[in-house]
Amino acid sequence: MGETIGFIGLGNMGQEMALRLVEAGWPVRVWNRTKEKATELVKRGATLVERPEEAVEPGGIAISMLADDAALLEIFAADGPVVKRLGAGGLHVSMSTIHPDTSRRLAKEHAEHGASYLGAPVFGRPNAARAGMLWFAVSGRPEDRLRARPIFEAMGRETFEFGDDPGAANVAKLCGNFLIAAAVEAMAEAAALAEKSGVGAAGMLEMLGKTLFACPVYQGYGQLVVKRKFEPAAFRMRLGLKDVELAISAARAVGVPLPFADIARNRALAGINKGRGDWDWSAVSLGAAEDAGVV
Ligand code: NAP
């Protein structure tokens, strides 16, 4: 593989995604606030750097997989060292789940230094990332989408393009996570009904996951809802709340009511207040079980 990639953010997702690039033969320089998370990657051939700007090459490719908008805006600050070093011909492929307007703002600010920006959020949890089975939603300049294609191919099974607006892919991602939130709440309520009626929730969800709802979200999250094993988290509830709030905010900006998102927000907020913020997002299903008196 050709150019060195600077990978910034090695959380649950970033560690697995960067590993795919290393395994595919890309030279990868990694940076993470908590250095220890780079240990496995370094063993496998990545280079750990001290500061985020040291991860990127002038005119090269930077990938970010940070928790949220605030972290991304801090590290890729308008006149900060990372964007300056990336500079003319540089490309930032931004994979976190963030607000569409954050992508639009970053694209403009990067352009002032001659650098490009792609919104490229992902679908799939860390196990899918490990297996190179992510799905990417991508938007930004066509030539940048083309340049980044081999990266998406190393990490994912399919890429879906959403045009030139760098925020468009983030809208698609937020729609997806809103749908997951609604599905988890619906499954949790149905499971509570089954359980309190003396019917096995696992059997009920297994039947529906093989028939009317034969899709990864109902099958994967359905298992999590009935098993009630929420630690260690693959996707933390705090981040789930962040995503639902982003969907609500993006919807508010265009005047769209999202009543199901309000329910999902309340569930996640209540879960965090009960000390479950670092449990898996699927633990929001405990809310419906608690309301029904089955846990
Ligand atoms: P995570 O495990 O919580 O990791 C978050 C990353 O952001 C870590 O590298 C963390 O550094 C870094 N970070 C947070 N605040 C920072 C700050 N102020 N300055 C510097 N670094 C900071 O999250 P994740 O599950 O990997 O998710 C990453 C992104 O992908 C999120 O936007 C999430 O919504 C999205 N996503 C997650 C999944 C999933 O299943 N987990 C799936 C699709 C999309 P430290 O290691 O130092 O804490």
* Residue 110 neighbours by CB under 8 Å, 6+ apart: 76, 83, 86, 90, 92, 116, 117
Q: What is the pLDDT of residues 214-264, one digit of tens each?
A: 999 999 999 999 999 999 999 999 999 999 999 999 999 999 999 999 999
Side-chain half-sphere exposure of 147, counting CA atoms within 13 A: 21
Same domain as 128, residue 274: no
3-state DSSP assignment of residue 257: coil
Q: Do 110 and 211 belong to one domain?
A: no
Which residue's structure tokens are 């030279």?
A: 27
Domain boundary among 110, 135, 164: 164
Q: In this structure, what CATH number is given to the domain that contains residue 175?
A: 1.10.1040.10
CATH number at residue 49: 3.40.50.720
Domain match, 187 and 65 both = no
24, 71: one domain: yes
Domain boundary among 140, 164, 188: 164
Taking the C-alpha atoms of residue 253 and residue 261, their distance in angstroms, rounded to an integer, is 15
Same domain, 151 and 176: no
Same domain, yes or no: 28 and 159 = yes
Ligand 1, residues 15, 82, 235, 244: which to mutate, most atoms within 8 A of Cβ? 235
Q: pTM for the full model?
A: 0.98
Per-residue H/E/C for 94-119: ECCCCCHHHHHHHHHHHHCCCCEEEE
Q: Which residue has the tokens 């649950």?
A: 12
Whether 34 is in the pocket of ligand 1, judged by its Cβ within 6 Å, is yes
- Candidates 126, 116, 72, 8; CA nearest to 246 is 72
Cα–Cα distance, 166 to 102 (Å, whole number): 9
Q: How far apart are CA 291 and CA 181, in angstroms?
A: 18
Q: The tokens 């929001």 sit on which residue?
A: 284
Collapse the DSSP code of 236 into the 3-class scheme (helix H, G, I; strand E, B; otherwise coil) and give the result: strand
Residues 186 and 114 in one domain: no
> Which residue, 73, 48, 64, is CA-closest to 9?
64
Q: Based on the domain organization, do 80 and 95 belong to the same domain?
A: yes
Low-confidence ranges of the chain (pLDDT < 70): 1
pLDDT digits (tens, 9 = 90+) for 183-220: 999 999 999 999 999 999 999 999 999 999 999 999 99
Whether residues 247 and 101 share a domain: the answer is no
Domain count, the chain: 2
> DSSP state, 280?
B
Q: Is there a single domain that holds both residue 35 and residue 78? A: yes
* Catalytic-role residue among 35, 37, 173, 210: 173
Annotation marks residue 35 as catalytic: no
Cα torsion angle, 288, 290, 293, 295, sign? positive
Same domain, 11 and 148: yes
Query: What's the CA dihedral at 102, 145, 176, 255 to 10 degrees?
Result: 50
Last residue of a domain, which of 164, 195, 211? 164
Q: How far is the CA of 32 from the centre of ligand 1 (A)?
A: 10
Ligand 1 centroid–CA 292 distance in Å is 33
- Euclidean distance between CA atoms 286 and 293, whole angstroms: 10
pLDDT reported for residue 2: 73
**What angle, 0 to 180 degrees and rounded to 10, lies between the N-to-C axes of helices 168-196 and 285-292?**
30
One domain, residues 205 and 253:
yes
Cα of 278 vs centre of ligand 1, distance in Å, is 12
Nearest residue (by CA) to ligand 1, atom 16, is 71
Full residue range of the structural domain in which residue 58 is found: 5-164
